[in-house]
């Protein structure tokens, strides 16, 4: 007889184990399946910087959290309904995230004395009464997997690599999800190693059957599909959406895409992703360092291509001199900064928003550069596309300021129609249209953009460089008035970009008590928090900035309409400083610098505190 | 020698002259600077290359030499210190039809830009690098450079520099350069012909030019350029020819116990059969390295000319091939299909 199925609205699952236990893999598979059957999903991979930290250690715990729902959601969840702990260290690190009466699945085979000691447990937590407030399922994951695979002829080590799929089989049963998508993935992944196709599928099925058969699991759950706008959807993480946005911008502008990269967490996946698309003419060059990576982007732009580079904070520090060259030479390049926790090497696999002021000010001289920040994984597509558009239209480097949380987080994305993508026209200079020969700094009166003249164009030979140039002619100039004028023109050019922005969306109350002003990857937590107040009729609102430089023209007016402005940021208050100095208003900060995203409850607490005053 | 594929001036187009390559900017190097000669010889040889000037790009870093692009009436980009090779790589990759020239100095290429230098050499883009080696920092007014001799007294080393210098030729060879040559600012004919040979080589061409800085390192190369001493102190490398030098070409160089040794060029029969014969096309780098090392061997003449010139696939050709192969295998990129790739679902 089939066991009963309980309908629920949403669930949050956290897979955790050693770095080599495959938690990221099965987390991703659960996400794919869940998205494909129509739930809204948000994910949070949380893994250590070490590739394989010592097995069983607290430092080596790798986690993958996913939140899915029959409603629209914006975050990977504050607390978890299910924790799958593959060893004591995973239990120790993540147990606090499990809600009371939550489901705890542990691999008891890994709870021997050695592993307990590595995790810092003096006694076995499975034996005491510390876990009584949870539904604990002790599963011999290792032994059951080995037993399942004993006829395959695989070594013990190889069998043990399949135990994550046993766990995935269990979770798929628990949430009534089909196994077919995971099987399909296994077949593609191991196409060249067929022995692993069979073994992983066997383990997956065995985990599924185990739950059905064993008395431990009495009930399973179902989450109905969410209501989405009509359209075709796929699941996408932020870095992949960035890759597609760049390819799309190159395609729509009919420019070759040249990407200079240097491996760095968490931006490497952009280099990896673009390298797949040679058949689009995409050129990726892994260079000798971060400076060379931005150098090829600048050179490509000078040659008339879409030059792009990507990195994270430390890499951006190295690139800053070259970005400044692109700024004064007024060449269109896009610099992707996938922020991680700093300073210096910091915490490479943890998220943060602490590079904002670096992007604003981290160059010598007066150096205004537009900054575009995506708000959620799928928004990376549109944001980086817009960054390319601004760069090409205004002949300027543009910083695309993403972060690890959205770069590596995934969610369903409504795939746009090509006709929805704004047109991008490079408008190369083709002839010298004044009597004075070609003048490389004769500007478009509306945008102040200078002409983009590709080498190879007859009659437009000209020289540019990092030395200050004379207005119009572009000759080297040390003239004091000219220098000041050029500084002002470069600032004004960036300021005028705001004329292209659509009116800023104010979510919730259009005026009233509190405006939450956010930017970047904090969108999900802020929006979820504000939705709760809006539903209760409390005059709270949310504005999320994609454009950090220049700010939208209407932002000053919007800020005036609220008694309090609260800026939640994953830094010590960087947008806060910019808003205070730009608009001369006081604002309140909610700051978290832990390498972790906001929890919705943290925002609730702050909003409540302000409302009570 | 193989010619390049850079596009030609179509038949009937007016022939270019040196004047066509002079920009309208006043040249502002110190009087007597070796850079003038290099500029003049470059402008003189450009018309002989047979390519339209709009297809020529000069890219430089920072330093005295790096003002060069402003004086050439071609496309030009005066970039930042040490980074010209990276920007040139992007320029060439985005448009392989361009003839790309990197102008650099010993500080720019070998100190702040040392990392880019070695990687440029190994990648083998079809670009040309002219390194003006004056063994001093000129624009910053006289500090020792990575090619200054050890013990050099400068503003930053009043008691003498502590560092052994780089040999740029050895460094280029060790980095896998496919064309390595040396010339002199004061030998215009040799300089022009070597610049032309660099252009004609398909792949990264590295040309070190001994260049006099009359202000901060006057006559550093005088022994190689002065009429009375140069024949004794230099040996011209010519492919297929024995290494001979001296006023009457009376001296030759042979190998003894893995070391170079000066001997007489002619024996009683009128020919020395044990002299080293230069082979610039040798695939292995043994001879080129040996010749490069002669610059550091006491009492040996300095080799001038082409040390090495071998054929290897260029980076941009290899990339173009990858793109072509990918298109043959997967078809031209279809953006709509790309966006809709993988598992999708439709909500109606």
Q: Which domain holds residue B37?
A: 18-239+298-322
pLDDT in tens, B73-107: 999 999 999 999 999 999 999 999 999 999 999 99
Same domain, A366 and A466: no
> Is the pLDDT score of B9 beyond 70?
no
In this complex, is the C-beta atom of A181 within 8 Å of any C-beta atom belonging to chain B?
Answer: yes
Q: Which domain holds residue A478?
A: 427-500
* Nearest C-alpha neighbor of A359 from the set A330, A321, A401: A401
What pLDDT, in 10s, does the model give residues A436-461? 889 999 999 999 999 999 999 999 99
For residue A436, the model assigns a pLDDT of: 81
CB A400 within 8 A of CB A356: no
Instruction: Provide the domain count of chain B.
Output: 1
- The mean per-residue pLDDT over the stretch A199-213 comes to 96
In contact, A77 and A12? CB cutoff 8 Å: yes
Whether residue A400 is found in the same domain as residue A321: yes
B2 in a structural domain: no
Instruction: Give domain status of residue B24, yes or no.
Output: yes
Tokens coding B78: 């005066």
Residue B3 has pLDDT above 80, yes or no: no
Mean pLDDT of A7-25: 94
Establish if A189 touches chain B: CB-CB under 8 angstroms. no
Final residue of a domain: which of A468, A500, A532?
A500
Q: What confidence score (pLDDT) does residue A427 get? A: 97
pLDDT band at B14 (very low <50, low <70, confident <90, very high): low
B17-27 per-position pLDDT tens digit: 999 999 999 99
CATH at residue A214 = 3.40.920.10
Which among A500, A525, A558 is the end of a domain? A500
pLDDT > 80? residue A171:
yes
> What's phi and psi for B59, nearest 5 deg?
-125, 130
Does any domain span residue A229?
no
A41 and A169 both lie in a single domain: yes
pLDDT of amino acid A613: 82
Confidence of residue B10 (pLDDT cuts 50, 70, 90): low
Q: Are residues A287 and A205 in the same domain?
A: no
Task: Answer yes or no: do A466 and B83 touch at CB < 8 A.
Answer: no
Q: B146-180, pLDDT tens digit by residue?
A: 999 999 999 999 999 999 999 999 999 999 999 99
Whether B322 has its CB under 8 Å from any CB of chain A: the answer is yes
Residue B93 at interface with chain A, using a CB cutoff of 8 Å: yes
Q: Are residues A70 and A152 in the same domain?
A: yes
Q: Could you give the number of structural domains in chain A?
A: 4
Q: Among A201, A223, A245, give the residue marking a domain's end.
A: A223
**ipTM score for this prediction:** 0.95
Give the mean pLDDT of A402-429: 96
Residue of A nearest to B24 (CA): A475
Query: How many Cα atoms are found within 13 Å in the side-chain-facing hemisphere of B219?
Result: 5
- Check CB contact under 8 Å for B79 and A258: no
Together in a domain, A376 and A488? no
Q: What digits encode the pLDDT tens for the residues A207-264? A: 999 999 998 899 999 999 999 999 999 999 999 999 999 999 999 999 999 999 999 9
Percentage of residues in chain A with pLDDT exceeding 90?
94
Q: What is the pLDDT of residues B211-226, one digit of tens each?
A: 999 999 999 999 999 9
Split at pLDDT 50, 70, 90, the class of A49 is confident
Domain annotation covers residue B251: no
Answer whether residue B4 shows pLDDT above 50: no
Q: Each residue of A366-400: pLDDT tens digit?
A: 999 999 999 999 999 999 999 999 999 999 999 99
pLDDT in tens, A320-338: 999 999 999 999 999 999 9
Which of A297, A415, A466 lies nearest to residue B90, judging by beta carbons? A297
Burial B244-280 (b: 16+ CB within 10 A, else e): bbeeeeebbbbeeeeebebeebbeeeeebeebbebeb
Check whether residue A403 and residue A316 sit in a common domain: yes
Say which CATH number the domain at A521 has: 3.40.50.920
Asked if the C-beta of A248 comes within 8 angstroms of chain B's C-beta atoms, the answer is yes
Domain harbouring B112, CATH code: 3.40.50.970
Name which of A238-247, A589-598, B265-274, B289-298 the model is least confident about.
B265-274
> Mean pLDDT of all residues in chain A?
96
**Whether A495 and A546 share a structural domain:** no
Beta bridge partners of B101: B58, B128
A461 touches chain B (CB under 8 A): yes
For residue A46, the model assigns a pLDDT of 84
**Is residue A198 scored above 90 in pLDDT?**
yes
Residues A377 and A433 in one domain: no
Contact A463 B23 (CB under 8 A): yes
Q: Are A84 and A199 part of one and the same domain?
A: yes
pLDDT band at residue B279 under the 50/70/90 scheme: very high
Identify which of B80, B98, B323 has the shortest CB distance to residue A281.
B323
Tokens 């989450």 belong to which residue?
A223
Determine the pLDDT at residue A38: 93
Supply the pTM of this predicted model.
0.94
Residues of B in contact with A302 (CB under 8 A): 57, 77, 87, 90-91
**Distance in angstroms (rounded) separating the CA atoms of residues A91 and A522:** 27
Check which CATH number belongs to the domain holding A335 and give it.
3.40.50.970
B78/A303 touch (CB, cutoff 8 Å), yes or no: no
CB contact under 8 A, B52 and A458: yes
Partners of B321 on chain A (C-beta within 8 Å) are none
The answer to the question of residue B347 being in a domain is no
Q: Which residues of A touch B26 (CB under 8 A)?
A: none
Chain A hits for B90, CB-CB cut-off 8 Å, are 258, 260, 285, 295-303, 305, 307
A232 interfacial to chain B (CB closer than 8 Å): yes
Q: Is B305 left (phi over 0), alpha (psi -120 to 50) or beta?
A: left
Confidence of residue B198 (pLDDT cuts 50, 70, 90): very high
Q: Are residues A346 and A367 in the same domain?
A: yes
Minimum-distance CB partner of A258 among B54, B93, B339: B93
């Amino acid at each position: 007889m089939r066991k009963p199925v309980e309908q629920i609205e949403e669930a949050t699952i956290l897979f955790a184990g050693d770095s080599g236990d495959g938690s990221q893999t099965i987390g991703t598979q659960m996400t794919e399946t869940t998205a494909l059957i129509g739930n809204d999903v948000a994910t949070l991979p949380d893994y250590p910087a070490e590739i394989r930290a010592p097995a069983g250690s607290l430092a080596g715990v790798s986690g993958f959290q996913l939140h899915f729902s029959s409603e629209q959601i914006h975050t990977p969840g504050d607390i978890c309904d299910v924790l799958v702990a593959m060893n004591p260290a995973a239990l120790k690190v993540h147990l606090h995230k499990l809600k009371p009466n939550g489901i705890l699945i542990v691999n008891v085979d890994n709870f021997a004395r050695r592993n307990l000691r590595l995790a810092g447990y003096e006694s076995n937590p499975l034996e005491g009464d510390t876990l009584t407030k949870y539904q604990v399922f002790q599963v011999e994951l290792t032994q059951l997997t080995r037993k399942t695979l004993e006829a395959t002829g695989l070594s013990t080590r190889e069998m043990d690599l399949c135990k994550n799929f046993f766990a995935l089989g269990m979770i798929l049963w628990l949430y009534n999800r089909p196994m077919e998508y995971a099987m399909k993935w296994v077949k593609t992944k191991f196409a060249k190693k067929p022995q692993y196709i069979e073994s992983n599928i066997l383990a997956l099925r065995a985990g599924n059957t185990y739950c059905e058969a064993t008395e431990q699991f009495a009930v399973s759950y179902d989450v109905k599909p969410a209501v989405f706008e009509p359209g075709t959807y796929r699941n996408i993480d932020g870095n992949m959406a960035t890759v597609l946005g760049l390819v799309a911008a190159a395609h729509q502008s009919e420019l070759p895409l040249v990407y200079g990269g240097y491996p760095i967490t968490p931006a490497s996946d952009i280099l990896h992703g673009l390298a797949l698309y040679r058949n689009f003419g995409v050129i990726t060059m892994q260079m000798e360092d971060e400076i060379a990576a931005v150098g090829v982007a600048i050179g490509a732009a000078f040659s008339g291509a879409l030059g792009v580079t990507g990195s994270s904070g430390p890499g951006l520090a190295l690139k800053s001199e070259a970005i400044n060259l692109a700024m004064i030479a007024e060449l269109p390049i896009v610099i992707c900064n996938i922020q991680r926790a700093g300073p210096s090497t910091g915490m490479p696999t943890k998220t943060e928003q602490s590079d904002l002021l670096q992007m604003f000010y981290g160059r010598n001289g007066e150096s205004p550069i537009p900054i575009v920040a995506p708000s959620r994984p799928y928004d990376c597509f549109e944001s980086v596309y817009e960054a390319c558009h601004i760069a090409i239209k205004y002949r300027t480097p543009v910083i695309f300021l993403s972060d690890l949380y959205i770069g590596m987080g995934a969610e369903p994305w409504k795939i746009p129609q090509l006709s929805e993508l704004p047109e991008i026209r490079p408008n190369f200079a083709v002839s010298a249209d004044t009597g004075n020969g070609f003048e490389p700094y004769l500007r478009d009166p509306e945008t102040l953009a200078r002409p983009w003249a590709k080498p190879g164009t007859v009659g437009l030979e000209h020289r540019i460089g990092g030395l200050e140039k004379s207005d119009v002619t572009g000759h080297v100039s040390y003239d004091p008035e000219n220098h000041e004028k050029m500084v002002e023109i470069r600032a004004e050019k960036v300021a005028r970009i705001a004329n292209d922005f659509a009116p800023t969306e104010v979510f919730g109350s259009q005026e009233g008590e509190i405006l939450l002003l956010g930017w970047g990857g904090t969108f999900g937590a802020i929006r979820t928090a504000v939705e709760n107040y809006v539903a209760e009729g409390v005059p709270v609102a949310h504005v999320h900035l994609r454009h950090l430089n220049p700010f939208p023209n209407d932002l000053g007016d919007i800020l005036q309409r609220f008694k309090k402005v609260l800026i939640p940021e994953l830094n010590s208050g960087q947008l806060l400083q910019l808003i205070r100095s730009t608009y001369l208003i006081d604002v309140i900060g909610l700051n978290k610098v832990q390498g972790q995203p906001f929890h919705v409850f943290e925002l609730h607490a702050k909003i409540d505190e302000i409302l009570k005053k | 020698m193989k010619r390049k594929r850079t596009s030609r001036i179509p038949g009937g187009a007016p022939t270019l002259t040196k004047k066509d390559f002079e920009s309208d900017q006043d040249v502002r190097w110190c009087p007597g600077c070796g850079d003038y000669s290099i500029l003049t010889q470059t402008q003189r040889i450009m018309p002989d290359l047979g390519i339209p000037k709009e297809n020529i790009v000069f890219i430089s870093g920072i330093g005295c030499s790096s003002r060069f692009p402003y004086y050439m009436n071609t496309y030009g980009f005066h970039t930042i210190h040490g980074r010209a090779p990276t920007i040139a790589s992007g320029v060439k990759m985005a448009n392989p039809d361009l003839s790309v020239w990197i102008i650099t100095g010993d500080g720019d290429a070998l100190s702040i830009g040392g990392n880019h230098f070695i990687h440029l050499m190994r990648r083998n883009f079809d670009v040309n690098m002219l390194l003006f080696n004056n063994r001093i920092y000129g624009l910053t007014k006289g500090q020792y450079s990575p090619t200054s001799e050890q013990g050099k007294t400068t503003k930053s080393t009043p008691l003498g520099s502590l560092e052994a210098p780089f040999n740029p030729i050895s460094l280029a060879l060790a980095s896998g350069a496919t064309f390595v040559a040396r010339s002199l600012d004061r030998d215009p004919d040799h300089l022009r012909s070597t610049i032309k040979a660099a252009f004609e080589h398909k792949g990264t061409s590295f040309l070190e030019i001994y260049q006099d800085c009359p202000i901060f390192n006057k006559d550093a190369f005088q022994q190689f350029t002065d009429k009375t001493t140069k024949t004794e102190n230099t040996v011209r490398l010519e492919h297929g020819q024995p290494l001979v030098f001296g006023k009457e070409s009376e001296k030759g160089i042979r190998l003894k116990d893995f070391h170079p040794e000066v001997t007489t060029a002619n024996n009683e029969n009128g020919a020395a059969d044990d002299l080293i014969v230069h082979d610039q096309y040798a695939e292995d780098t043994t001879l080129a390295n040996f010749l490069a090392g002669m610059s550091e061997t006491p009492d040996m003449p300095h080799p001038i000319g082409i040390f090495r010139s071998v054929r290897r696939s260029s980076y941009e050709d290899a990339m173009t091939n990858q793109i072509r192969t990918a298109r043959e295998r997967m078809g031209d990129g279809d953006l709509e299909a790309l966006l809709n790739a993988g598992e999708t679902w439709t909500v109606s």
